[in-house]
């Protein structure tokens, strides 16, 4: 449990909050955050990517300012990529493209995979 959540459960006031983007709505709904819209001008919203700005919104109010997002990278084996008939121009730039490329990298005989092109839940274990 992060420090801000502990403070809120302990009914201690906090002047600022530094939490993951994924809890902004949850904290606003639980009245652990306040709408800060009145303190922001129209230029503020334009400083952020729309998808990041949206993470700080709840029922028409702004309950935080995005300051960070996940940095996600994908490492790939150039030889396996080439062996599957893929070129550098095929490197995915969207989730949809990633799914298409991953299927081309899969190696499957019958119902058994000997190689999976992309498995986003790998850190949870292979039996998920």
The model's pLDDT over 103-128, given as tens digits with 9 standing for 90+, comes to 999 999 999 988 888 876 655 555 54
Q: What is the reported pLDDT for 19?
A: 62
Alpha-carbon distance of 105 to 42, in angstroms, equals 46
Question: For residue 96, what are the CA distances in angstroms to 20, 44, 91, 100, 109?
Answer: 25, 31, 12, 6, 24
Q: What is the reported pLDDT for 73?
A: 72
Residue 40 tokens read as: 């922001």
Show pLDDT as tens, one digit a residue, over the chain (128 residues): 444 444 444 455 444 555 666 678 888 888 888 899 999 988 998 888 888 888 889 999 998 888 766 666 777 889 999 999 999 999 998 888 988 999 999 999 999 988 888 876 655 555 54
pTM (two decimals): 0.44
Q: What is the reported pLDDT for 110?
A: 93
Q: What is the reported pLDDT for 27?
A: 85
Q: What is the reported pLDDT for 9?
A: 47
Q: State the DSSP code for 23.
A: G
Going by DSSP bridges, is the β-strand pair 57-58/61-62 parallel, antiparallel, or unpaired? antiparallel
- What length is written for the chain? 128
Q: What is the reported pLDDT for 14?
A: 46
């Amino acid at each position: 449990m992060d420090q801000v959540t502990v403070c809120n459960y302990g009914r201690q006031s906090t002047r600022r909050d530094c939490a993951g983007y994924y809890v902004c709505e949850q904290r606003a709904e639980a009245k652990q955050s306040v709408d800060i819209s009145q303190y922001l001008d129209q230029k503020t919203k334009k400083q952020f990517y729309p998808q990041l700005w949206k993470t700080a919104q709840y029922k028409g109010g702004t309950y935080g300012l995005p300051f960070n997002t996940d940095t996600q990278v994908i490492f790939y084996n150039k030889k396996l990529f080439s062996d599957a008939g893929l070129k550098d121009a095929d490197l995915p730039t969207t989730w949809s493209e990633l799914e298409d490329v991953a299927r081309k990298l899969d190696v499957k005989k019958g119902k058994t995979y000997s190689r999976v092109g992309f498995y986003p839940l790998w850190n949870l274990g292979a039996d998920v």
